[in-house]
Amino acid sequence: MKWGIIELKISLDYAKISGFIETERINSIQEKGYSLHRILQHKTKEECAYLGWLNIPKDISESEIKRIIHVSENIRSQSDHLVVIGIGGSYLGARAAIQMMGGESTNHDLDSGYKSNRVLFAGHNMSSDYFNDLIHQLEGKEVSLNVISKSSTTTEPAIAFRLLKEYMETKYGRQEAARRIYVTTSKDKGALRAMADREGYQSFVIPEDIGGRYSVLTPVGLLPMAVAGINIEQVLEGARAAMEDLSEESLEANHAYQYAAIRNLFYAQGKTTEVLVTYDPRLFYFSEWYKQLFGESEGKDGKGIFPAAMNFTTDLHSLGQYLQDGPRNIFETVLNVEKQDDSIILKATEDDVDGLNYLSGRSLDEINKKAMQAAMDAHVAGGVPNLVINIPDLTPYHMGYLFYFFEKACAMSGLLMGVNPFDQPGVEAYKTNMFRILGKPGYEAT
């Protein structure tokens, strides 16, 4: 295999790691990759039960897609705001998608306006100030809720739903509130499913064979996206393209597997932290989604690459020193959005007081990309290897492709590391302690 770029819908450029990993080392993983690919594609191991996400871009029915679109249109017509209640995978994918498509302000946590409809988020923290700010933002507005939980037992969204359900029933009355509450949960079990059936809430199903952090391409992510005005058919088209491109078992032909292999080779060298770098603030919540995906998938059995994220050039003026001269246990993966607005041009001034006339005639986007090149060159020279994932454009199609790319890469990376990338036993530890401390019945002696 030669160093360079694989030309696919979204391309992986690993040219800047050639001084850190020999080509033969990547090739040496190929045989192990074949066997793990067969585990993923053919579900031959009991520990890989949660593999429904692999085929969901094709398995999701046309009737389900049309129903999601129809319900989203009803929500948009009846409400100014949809409040999505969820935590982790139940909200991060949707939030990342809406921000990527320009639907969430990068300057205000709660202000996520897209056209005339706004998707707000609750249940991902227990801050009373945040909740009060949310209620204030809903004043005088028409509101719908989408509560998302597979287990129905996660404390943060359960509390938020209890509070917002009371708010809705006080505002609209129980019958009208029921018409404005939409549930995304398990098909036939759990408290939320029972409540939806009892109250007559419209509901969508989270497939049993898909875990929360791999659920963005199910109704978990697709309904909020559609309400925000995103074309979910194009999202799924991009995911289907990725599904086809990334079905190859050969490392040389599968750039998601290459990314997974390179991550593991860095890990074997003692590079235990990966920094996902973005130069576009629209990718902030995608970075948050990435952190959950890889953190919950790999961080177990005393193993795991720590997933961090930085937004450049902002963080170059805070953490740049650490990256350049700190411990050499870091590698970077840069998300490069190739197509950007190039209409903002710097003009020359007569006095040139700020000394910027040398940049006259250049676009802000060109300057940003030169800063990216400069940072990568400096970090590589300082001992921090850089991978680059080139994204042609931030469109629904490319977004769907990007989500699937990272899911496939994460699954393979976890298997290469020797962990089960589909469970999260460590998350349950804090929940058990919290239940005990708060006095939940049955947890007194745990």
**Adjacent-strand bridge partners of 39:** none
Number of other residues whose CB lies within 10 A of the CB of residue 43: 15
Shortest CA distance to 304 belongs to which of 151, 425, 222, 182?
A: 425
248 part of the active site: no
73 part of the active site: no
Instruction: With H, G, I as helix, E, B as strand and everything else as coil, classify residue 207.
Output: coil
Under a CB-based contact definition with an 8 Å cutoff, are residues 221 and 199 in contact?
Answer: no
E-strand spans in 188-314? 202-205, 273-278, 306-311
Tokens of 120: 């707000």
Annotated catalytic residue: which of 43, 369, 431, 440? 431
The sign of the dihedral angle between the CA atoms of 318, 321, 327, 330 is positive
CA distances from 281 to 248, 312, 405, 423 (A): 33, 9, 20, 30
Kindly write down the DSSP assignment for every residue of 18-52, as one continuous string: TTTS-HHHHHTTHHHHHHHHHHHHHT-SGGG---G
Annotated catalytic residue: which of 296, 298, 332, 407? 296
Tokens 């300082």 belong to 382
Q: Rg of the chain's alpha carbons, rounded to an integer?
A: 23
Annotated catalytic residue: which of 2, 108, 136, 317? 317
252 part of the active site: no
Among all residues, which ones are annotated catalytic?
A: 296, 317, 431
